[in-house]
Amino acid sequence: MKKTDAPAGKEKKWFAAVTLSCLFLFVLCAGLTIFVDPYFHYHAPVEGISYSLTDGRYQNDGIARHFKYDTVITGTSMAENFKTSEADVLFNAHTVKITYRGGLFKEVDQGVKRALSSGNDVKRVIRSLDYSFLVKDKDQKHDDLDFGHLEPPEFMTNDNPFDDAAYLLNKSIFTEAVAGDLKNSLDGEPSDTFDEYGNWMAEAPGFGKDQVLSTYVIQGRVSEDVPVSEAELKTVHDNLEQNVIQTALDNPETEFYLFITPYSIYYWDMMDSQGKLKWQLDIEEAAVRQLLEVPNIKLFAWGDRADIVTNADNYKDQAHYGDWINTMILNDMAAGDSLITKENCDGYFERERELYMNFDYEGLH
């Protein structure tokens, strides 16, 4: 680049003006972000500011650490439609929701651990356990996030203050979260509630048979059953041990309301086509028996409820049910219905196998 001859004083002023201006802008940006703190990284919500609850993986850690509560609802997209207002009434509690769409057991467990070490007296944890995430490596936090551009925000979930620059000097967070919250506050909009947080009902394309069938394709049916291997059983065991059971054992004063997510019959249709019906049922049985050994785990399941799982109107795809099922789950939990115990689990397994092994899957199409 060619330089023109300019008085040295002018360039000194130029350099000083540029560096001081940049410093000022960085401090202003970081300062505003710390003050508003849209992701609750430093403090609880500031009174008078209207907060949007939209970015689970960015906000969950802050919610766990800075909010006041005695009940936590957590899990995957299967738990996103829970209404904390219903849980508050049913359990006479003060509930927050921290869910991880697509998160495997390890990621959810890290959130639970954060909540349990927050200083709150956490009386209960309500958590989903997805069938399809049982056979996953215990240290894996999520599957390939298809078409995702960036890695999950470790800087929001670790205790390293030096990488907070990624939060404080982040144009997306500043222009969308900080500016968005300030604008909502000026417009007099209320903060989002936990009922709304993560709730995907408005995004759902619809429910019912046509919708569900449009989400998957059966290539052909395998006639032979795929057996469960010892390695798979060990994977399930280690996954549950590290990412579910150990946390419960470490917190004996807290009750863990876990539920096996009631996937639709169409999920079992897919399993049947792959020869994995018995495989999945065996995996589930091993998992359930392992969980029943823990005294402060209350395990709920509706896999034997044909009225729920065979009713396509409850589902938008093979797995995801509407929020009325979430309401039903909470009600059952509060009433103690659909609770699986050591005494009744054999009957549960028997009814499940009866339902899924004898179902007319061809008739679904």
Spell out the long-range contacts of 335-341 with Cβ–Cβ below 8 A and sequence spacing 24 or more.
338/300, 338/301, 338/302, 338/305, 339/298, 339/299, 339/300, 340/288, 340/292, 340/299, 340/300, 340/301, 341/292
Residue 276 in contact with another protein, rule: CB under 8 A: no
Residues that contact another protein, how many (by CB under 8 A): 50
- In the list 157, 194, 320, 321, the residue contacting another protein (rule: CB under 8 A) is 320
**Per CB under 8 A, 34 contacts another protein:** no
Residue 36 Cβ, how far from another protein at the closest point, in Å? Answer: 16
Question: Looking at 24-32, 66-74, 224-232, 297-305, which segment touches another protein (CB under 8 A)?
Answer: 24-32
Interface residue with another protein among 48, 150, 188, 358 (CB under 8 A) is 150
Q: Reduced to 3 states, what is the DSSP secondary structure of residue 290?
A: helix
Binding string, 110-149, against another protein, x = CB under 8 A? ---------------------------------x-xxxxx
Q: Is 153 in the site for another protein (CB under 8 A)?
A: yes
Amino acid at position 314, single letter = N
Residue 40 contacts residue 62 (beta carbons within 8 Å): yes
| Stretch touching another protein by CB under 8 A, among 16-24, 238-246, 333-341, 346-354 | 16-24
Question: Strand, helix or coil at 299?
Answer: strand
Of 4-12, 44-52, 279-287, 332-340, which part binds another protein (CB under 8 A)? 4-12
Does 365 contact another protein by CB under 8 A?
no
What secondary structure does DSSP assign to 26-74, as a single string?
HHHHHHHHHHH-TT-SSSSPPTT-PPP---HHHHHHHHHHHS--SEEEE
Does 18 contact another protein by CB under 8 A? yes
The beta-carbon contacts of 247-254 under 8 Å, at least 24 apart in sequence, are: 247/109, 247/112, 247/113, 247/116, 248/294, 248/296, 248/297, 249/294, 250/116, 251/116, 251/122, 251/296, 252/295, 252/296, 253/123, 253/296, 254/116, 254/122, 254/123, 254/124, 254/125, 254/296
Going by C-alpha positions, the residue among 136, 142, 141 that lies closest to residue 239 is: 136
Provide the mask over 158-187, with x wherever binding to another protein is found by CB under 8 A and - wherever it is not: ----x--xxx-xxxxxxxx-----------
Q: Residue 120 or 264: which CB sits closer to another protein? A: 264
Distance between CA atoms of 187 and 45, rounded to whole angstroms?
Answer: 17
In this chain, which of 52, 53, 55, 268 binds another protein, going by CB under 8 A?
55
Q: Residue 26 interacts with another protein (CB under 8 A)?
A: yes
- For 65-155, list the strands marked E by DSSP: 71-75, 95-99, 124-129
Piece of 19-27, 272-280, 321-329, 356-364 that binds another protein (CB under 8 A): 19-27
Residue with smaller CB distance to another protein, 3 or 365: 3
Q: Closer to another protein at the Cβ: 16 or 222?
A: 16
Can you give the binding site for another protein, defined by CB under 8 A?
Answer: 1-4, 6, 8, 10-12, 14-15, 17-19, 21-22, 25-26, 29, 55, 57-58, 77, 101-102, 143, 145-153, 155, 162, 165-167, 169-176, 200, 320
